[in-house]
Chains A and B, each alone.
Chain A
């Protein structure tokens, strides 16, 4: 057994397995969710203002202004939050998946030949042992 940790060995010299973190896509996704949530809060304010406009006492003109103005910018803000997730977090997460696949490919390209060679050697040794055993048996038969 080697002394260095195989789990952290540099396989294929491309990616050590620890270079890419999942934190960035999650951070971007959280930023997007927060943006949409902020727009949602603003739209609640707009909804309250809209309700005041149609109240029996009659709403003020400022209520209608708040309703219209808030709705005008809050909906695009919510869509911007979704765009941050679609255009930032998801592509970044997919890029990280691709990077992990490359890492696994390098591990397999380096590790599988070694494993297969050891398997072949073990099988050859077993075959030699069987042949030698058979040969010895035949020799004993001849001696008899």
Chain B
């Protein structure tokens, strides 16, 4: 099935301006205004998801790395406090501080990993943007109308899946902070020996143990969903590259033969 596009708009250029050589006469002229590739559409600028990826990719990775470093610091503090508690001069307050630090460690580490993985997804989206703009430049240089592949369903889903995945570790981060605060409220002696805890402390302890059981599951589920968005972005890249190959073949078919 033939798809025809009427295009005469170099003004539709670009997010990343590049100098293009003047179009050679002859080459690809037959294909300048039409394409038989069903997915071909006229060149379009960035949509909201691509603009967000352009702006946010590196800040997300930077924030994620800082959160991971924060988790590492909390882990070291927790380790030192556990060491103090089990030393001959240890007191139960050390155990309380250590338990708080353990909760903060998980909260910050997984939030950081989620932010980093989201940044990687955005970087992959930036690669897709770059592929699209490069393809446009090559087509313009060949004197053809700049066409691009219409967004596949994988590309449409990528930002939503990524944000859905990021919400889970963020929610887990909030619950982790609440859990850390709750642990801080529990009497240290009750932490060391739950049998001696008051009923209020016992309820808090139950909440903390319950949250400690299911929070890792929520965090890992969030990471898995973000990884799904990474796979979706990779499939979109694959389809974009494949479109470019088909477009070049089409332009070659449209070029006048020199044999005769």
Q: A residues bordering B, Cβ < 8 Å?
A: 1-2, 5-9, 11, 17, 20, 22, 25-26, 28-30, 32-33, 36-37, 39-44, 46-56, 67, 70-71, 74-75, 78-79, 81-82, 85-86, 89-90, 93-94, 96-97, 99-101, 103-104, 106-108, 110-112, 114-123, 126
Say yes or no: B220 contacts A47, CB within 8 Å: no
A78 to B216, CA, bound (A): 9
Q: Is B59 an interface residue (CB 8 A)?
A: no
Given A97-B237, A108-B248, is A51 in contact with B227 using a C-beta cutoff of 8 Å?
Answer: no
Residue of A46, A67, A79 ringed by the most chain B CB atoms within 10 A: A46
Identify which of A25, A40, A97, A120 contacts B220 (C-beta below 8 A): A40
Say yes or no: A17 contacts B246, CB within 8 Å: yes
Q: B residues bordering A, Cβ < 8 Å?
A: 24-28, 30, 35-38, 142, 154, 194, 199, 202-203, 205-207, 209-214, 216-218, 220-221, 223-225, 227-228, 230-232, 234-235, 237-239, 241-242, 244-246, 248-258
Looking across the interface, which residue of chain B has its beta carbon closest to that of A48? Answer: B210
Contacts of A67 in B (CB 8 A): 209, 213
A51 to B212, CA, bound (A): 10
Looking across the interface, which residue of chain B has its beta carbon closest to that of A30? Answer: B228
Say yes or no: A118 contacts B27, CB within 8 Å: yes
Contacts of A44 in B (CB 8 A): 213-214, 217
Say yes or no: B255 contacts A114, CB within 8 Å: yes
Say yes or no: B202 contacts A54, CB within 8 Å: yes
Say yes or no: A112 contacts B25, CB within 8 Å: no
Identify which of B206, B221, B235 contacts A22 (C-beta below 8 A): B235
Chain B nearest CB, measured from A72 CB (Å): 11
Say yes or no: B248 contacts A50, CB within 8 Å: no
**Can you pick out 26 interface pairs between chain A and chain B where the beta carbons lie within 8 Å of each other?**
A1-B254, A7-B38, A7-B246, A17-B245, A20-B238, A22-B238, A29-B228, A30-B228, A33-B224, A47-B213, A50-B209, A67-B213, A75-B216, A75-B217, A89-B227, A90-B231, A97-B237, A97-B238, A100-B237, A100-B239, A100-B245, A104-B241, A104-B248, A107-B245, A115-B27, A118-B26
Say yes or no: B209 contacts A54, CB within 8 Å: yes
A22 to B232, CA, bound (A): 9
Residue of B203, B224, B230, B237 ringed by the most chain A CB atoms within 10 A: B224
Say yes or no: A126 contacts B25, CB within 8 Å: yes
Chain B nearest CB, measured from A17 CB (Å): 5
Interface of A is mostly: helix
Contacts of B213 in A (CB 8 A): 43-44, 46-47, 49-50, 67, 70-71
Contacts of A123 in B (CB 8 A): 24-26
Say yes or no: A50 contacts B210, CB within 8 Å: yes
Say yes or no: A118 contacts B255, CB within 8 Å: yes
Contacts of B220 in A (CB 8 A): 36, 39-40, 78-79, 81-82
Say yes or no: B249 contacts A40, CB within 8 Å: no
Say yes or no: A50 contacts B249, CB within 8 Å: no
Chain A nearest CB, measured from B3 CB (Å): 10
Looking across the interface, which residue of chain A has its beta carbon closest to that of B244? Answer: A104
Contacts of A104 in B (CB 8 A): 241-242, 244-245, 248
Contacts of B249 in A (CB 8 A): 6-7, 9, 11, 107, 110-111
Identify which of B30, B214, B241 contacts A103 (C-beta below 8 A): B241
Given A104-B245, A110-B249, A112-B248, is A54 in contact with B206 using a C-beta cutoff of 8 Å?
Answer: yes
